Each structure stands twice: as structure tokens, then as C-alpha cells.
Structure 1
């Protein structure tokens, strides 16, 4: 029986997963080391932004099916959904997975199931988790079942994708995988594929690495296009009409907890063979500096003395509040190193995260010389360029996401530059 689940980690994945199980009739006890986040959740307040989360959290709490604290409790199933970041030397930091695993050992009993949802380097279940779980005294694979079922969702569409996406389940044995599959059937409508734990770990890393390499290709095309007189956005759009071509879009870099991180897992494990993966990471990591240099070059070309830069967008992706590994933050860092005056604004970042962060759009744009669009928030797409023209000092825009209606901005008197567009760069 799987009547109670203990979820370790109540962040961008753990909290939505918890409320999904709770709202499907299973009692869930959520755990997080962040006591402030726990207190907010207990009071039906959000510490993260996700469409549809507030309503589902209210239902989960009011039903009594969802409780939270900073310590685990005995349960039938333990789900670990904690971060697995990268160290400064680009090696995997497993301390959160290790500490979360250690935290549940005193509460484990026979017939329990432990599921790792965090995206991790292949062999983490076998080499990191299982040696810790053995301290419970339970026999692995018989008395204690263990599996890896990585999340495969994107911020902003978490609930839709939790339900409808296919899911990978990798167990340390067949019974572990089957029990995990049966558990997720509580709300997953997509197909559930069963494999072993290490293959499941590899699958998730492959998925994000594929996207990173594809984006790196697009970013290379953008830089080449600027040098040879081509609009890369038009070229990619036309190329993607081929039935076997699907090129992603360029931008100021790659962010988020997955795509900007997971490829390094493979580079660390096999640097001799992961050469394309390594080069793609270097290409995408170089884009924030490339953008910052473009800003500096524009200011020099226009002979603007002591230019003020207004950076719009700090989250790594449109319409969310997640700044993890955000290339926008790196762009700000490089602009600071160039001693350029700047302000930054993001309508989704409610708390002061950077010293340069303005409290509102008007403050960010006041007397700006160059407006730099780094995130394609809906709020930016519908800006009225006529109103913006009354706030800025110099009417110059660098659109790194090709998200503005260019003709309207040009009509309002703006010089609009677009990343990867030689005709407007």
C-alpha cells in the first residue's frame, strides 16, 4: 500500500508534485530545510511562481492531505526532489542529494519505496544513494525498493506536463520500477516507460544535453550571420520548414537548473568523448559576454558618453520568476565589469535580487541610452514604444530574443538592433 508520501524538497518540482499527489487522494508530507518557505506553504502562500499552483495548493492544504515541516516523517514512499547544481569547477555538487538521502534513513521501514526525482549524473542512485540507504539495515531491492523517475517539465507549464508528458521510471530491479510506475499512475496520463535506474538517469541528461547542443548551434549561426549579412531568425525559420530539421533559437545564453547544468555531468564523467557537448557548453556560456560586448560597441559607435543601460528581463525564461543560472545575470555582471551604468528590471522578480534592480519599469528606463531585452516576457512584448520614447534619453534597443514588434518601435523613432540579424545589428 502507498497511502503516505514524504517529499524531500519543496521547490520548483517538489511542491507541484506534492500537491498533485495530495489532490489525487494521497496524504503527502512535504519537507524543506528552508523554514521560511515551509511557513509560507503552511499558510497557503507561494515562494515560487507557477501557473495554477496557488489554486492547487489551497485545495491540498484545505483537504488535509498536504502537511509540511522541516523534518521527514515515516511514510510508504519517499520522493527526493532537491537541487543538483554545478560547482564552480563544473563538477556535479551532490551535497543536497546526499543530505536528503541521509535525512530519511532513520524513518525507513520494510516495503518502503525511495524515488529520486532530481536530475543527476548517471550512476548517482547506485554510487551515491544506495551506500547511504544501506545504513538503514534494509536489504536493497527486496526490503527497500529504489528508483529514479526524473521530472520532465518546464516552468510555466508544470502541471500540464506533469499530467500529459510521458515519464521514465528506472528501478534498481523490476519490482522497484513497477511500484514507482503504479504510484505515478495516480495522475500521469502519458505513457510510462520502464528501464533501469542508470539508464533513466542517462535519458534525462541526454534530453537536456540535446537541447543545449541545438541552442549552441543556433547561437553559432547567429554570430556567423552577423558576419556575413544574414538575418539568422529568417534563415532558421526557413530551414525548419524542412521535415527533418528542427533548429532551436539563439539568445543571450542558456539558463535554468537543467539545460545549463546537466551537460556538464557528461563532460565530467567522460571528458575525452564528450567533446561536442563540452564545446556547446562553452559556446552558450560565452553568449552573455558576446551580448555585453555588443552593448559596449553600440555605445561607442553612437559616441554616447557615460551611457546608461536598461536591462529588461532577469529570469532565464519567459513569464517565470526563476533566475537559476540565468544568462541575464551574467550579462549584468559583464556590463558592470565594463564600468557601464545600468539598471535592471523584471516584472516577475518581486524581491530585490541584484543591487542594480529597479523597483519598476519606469525607474529602469528613465534616461536610458540603450534598452537591452534579455527575456521575452509577455509584458515586454506589449510595451508601447511611444511611451518608452518619453522615458529614455537615446532611442536604442538591443533585442536579443527577437520578441519586439520591430516596425512599431522603428515608427516611434527607435534604432532597433536584433541579435543575429546583420541587417539590424
Structure 2
């Protein structure tokens, strides 16, 4: 049986690892991205993101000829979209990137193609994507729709990714996968694609349930993190060490409280719950409150730093970590990055030394600020009065306690408790 050709649209934190994995499992993959520089680097076998194990596997995929990257949309048997799906100011999903990809795909379709939306999306997004394509191509029809004129058929599915940055190359293969076709035939075809590389269970359902499942998984985590973050605020007011409190509580056989932090970031947990809230405002009170608790935690962190520097003549603060989680370079929806920006604005007389070992340079939003500069870890610790730990990178965990002597330490991750 001939393997279907795949066009993977979007070569970011999800698209590049997935394209590489598919190519190394025998599929012919064309990766499509609007960033010409990244496309060129990928075709040279150069990684564009930090992901353990990716560089060697990318070179293997490119050298085999199974993976090429381009800025031009090709024709393919299967299209997989992993483009951004941010939310708007009202927290409703922004599908503009999905629709832009659909507009590029539509002119190339001849019938019998499968189009899979992988991007984490609000409920009914796959349906809206299909409607967009079929509006542009009225000579085609979606599988399962009435077709008295015997038009060529297009198949649609939603198969959300479930990988953790930093562990993507393993989890792409081993994690269970939800396969949500709009019809049983779409589910069957999508299952064949993911079965080429997934050893986890492939779980069939419909597209809307698949969309909601991914949102539910991340909302569950968000609610539980909010409980830990709310506990941290209460414990601080009572003079209690919240990490000791949680450790003791977790000795109960049916209790497993997560760890607090400076907020919640990333492209999923900080975004996805809002899609559920937007879909049903009346019945999503707990999910909305959890989002508000986690979005409010940076305020508490900033108040701690403000208090720590208020009596210093020329205060300097080392901010340790800008990524949204440990040991990666991903800054999307990062509470650490947001806190650093807000500190620089609210404390203009304070020098902020940003330490992020996983990026080569500060993002533009920080680099343009006069009182913010990038610094090496030990350089920063030599200079500053206040140390604010926002991300528990391995480099920070390895610091001897003696390097912090005499400094005010605000540890939002509990690594120096």
C-alpha cells in the first residue's frame, strides 16, 4: 500500500517535531511555514526550537528525503494544520491562522483529500474550517453531506496533540491519541496516518468531542494549579511554608495537590480553558475562576519584589527564568516573561537582570526596555540585591545555597525552601 503524502502546515513547537517523526516513520512530508528563514534552516537540518533529541532526528529526516520544508502550499493527500489559535480580548478563539491556512489549501484540492486540524481549538472549529474551505470550493462536498450531484468529497478530522515541550520526541510516539473524524471514514483515514508512528492507543470519536477533550484535559490541570496557587496566597498570609504544607497534605493516600508557581503559561493551559468559558459562559464558573486565580498570581509576585526593593538606594533584581516551564526556550504565554516586563515598567529606577539560559537573546519586548538587560547567571548574582526565581531550570537548581547569602530571595517554585 502506498503511503499518503502529507503537507504539515506550521513548523513550530508542535509541527516540526511531528513532521520529523512522521518522516522518520516512512511518510513523505512537506512542512509548510511562512517563515522563510526557518524553512531554510530546516532544509539544512538545523533546528529552530529547543527540543531534546530533535536535532539528530531532523537531520535524519532531511537526509532521507522524506522531509522538505517550503513556504508554498503543495498538493497532498493529507493536510495537517498545527497553526496558532490564540484568543481575542474577549477570550473567544481567534481562528484567523486556521482560516488563512484553509484559504491556501482550498485551491489545490481535487477530491478525496483528508484535512486534519491539530491546533488546540474551541469547540466547532473543525466544522468552521470545513465550511470555510467548502465556501471557497462549492464544487466540492464534505464526506457525509448530501451529494446528489456526485461532487468530489473532502474528509475532515480533529486530532489534538498532547505532547509536553521538552519530551516531545518520546511523547509523540508513546502518548495515546484522540482521532476525531467528522465521519467514520475520516476517522479511519486519520487513524491510518497516526498509526504509522503512534504506539499509544488511538481513540476514535467525532471532531467536536475531540476538540472538547483537549480543552478538558488542560482545564483540569488549570483548576488544580489554581488550587495550589490559592493555597500559596493563604499560606503566605499565615506565615506558613506552602511547599511543606502541600508535602504534608500529599501524604494522605487520596490527595495529590500540585505545586504553586508564579502563574500558568504555555500555549495550552493558559489559553484552552478560556475556549470552554467562551463556549458556555453560564456553566463554566469554576473554570473561569481558576483562570482568574492563575492570571492573578503575577500580581502577588510583583508586590513581593516591590516590597523587597523599596528601601534600596539603587536596587538591582535578578530575574531567573523567562520561559513558561523548566529547561525549554518556549516563551509563549509565559508568566515569567510577563512579570519581568511588568517589573521593568512599575520599577523604572530598578535594574532588572534577566537570566534565561535557554535563549540566545532577550525577546524584543524586553530588549527595548532601558532598565532591562540580559545577564549570565553568576554575573547577575554578583551584582544584585534581590533574586527572583520564576522558572526552575536545572542551572538554578544546581546553585549552592552560599551564592544566595545576604540577598533577598523570592522563590516562586520552592527549590530553595
Normalising by structure 2, what TM-score? Answer: 0.92
Deviation of 1:345 after TM superposition, in Å, equals: 1.1
Q: Could you give the per-residue CA deviations for residues 158-189 of structure 1, whole angstroms, max 9, x where no partner exists?
A: 11111111110111101101111111011111
What is residue 112 of structure 1 aligned with on the other side?
Answer: 113
Q: How does 1:120-135 map to 2 (within 5 A)?
A: 120-135=121-136
Considering only aligned residues, what root-mean-square deviation do their CA atoms show, in Å? 1.6
Deviation of 1:385 after TM superposition, in Å, equals: 4.0
Q: How does 1:25-424 map to 2 (within 5 A)?
A: 25-136=26-137, 137-141=139-143, 143-300=153-310, 303-339=311-347, 340-353=350-363, 354-355=366-367, 356-387=372-403, 394-404=406-416, 406=417
Distance 2:373 2:169 in 1: 30
Report the 3-state secondary structure (helix = DSSP H, G, I; strand = E; otherwise coil) of the residue aligned with 2:341.
helix
Larger mean CA deviation between 351-360 and 262-271 belongs to: 351-360
Distance 1:293 1:133 in 2: 52
What is residue 417 of structure 1 aligned with on the other side?
Answer: none
Distance 1:11 1:222 in 2: 34
Deviation of 1:87 after TM superposition, in Å, equals: 2.2
Q: Is the 8 A contact 1:169 1:192 kept in 2?
A: yes
Distance 2:134 2:252 in 1: 50
Q: Is the 8 A contact 1:121 1:265 kept in 2?
A: yes
Structure 2: gaps of 5 or more residues: 145-152
Report the 3-state secondary structure (helix = DSSP H, G, I; strand = E; otherwise coil) of the residue aligned with 2:205.
strand
Q: Is the 8 A contact 1:2 1:77 kept in 2?
A: no
Q: Could you give the per-residue CA deviations for residues 257-308 of structure 1, whole angstroms, max 9, x where no partner exists?
A: 00000111111122122111111111111111210101112334xx323321
Distance 1:46 1:351 in 2: 17
In 2 relative to 1, CA 97–174 (structure 1 residues): closer, same or farther, beyond 3 Å?
A: same
Deviation of 1:351 after TM superposition, in Å, equals: 2.5
Q: Is the 8 A contact 1:22 1:65 kept in 2?
A: yes
Q: Is the 8 A contact 2:14 2:82 kept in 1?
A: yes
Structure 1: gaps of 5 or more residues: 407-425
Distance 2:253 2:119 in 1: 34
Report the 3-state secondary structure (helix = DSSP H, G, I; strand = E; otherwise coil) of the residue aligned with 1:29.
strand
Q: Is the 8 A contact 2:317 2:351 kept in 1?
A: yes
Report the 3-state secondary structure (helix = DSSP H, G, I; strand = E; otherwise coil) of the residue aligned with 2:50.
coil
Q: Is the 8 A contact 1:33 1:70 kept in 2?
A: yes
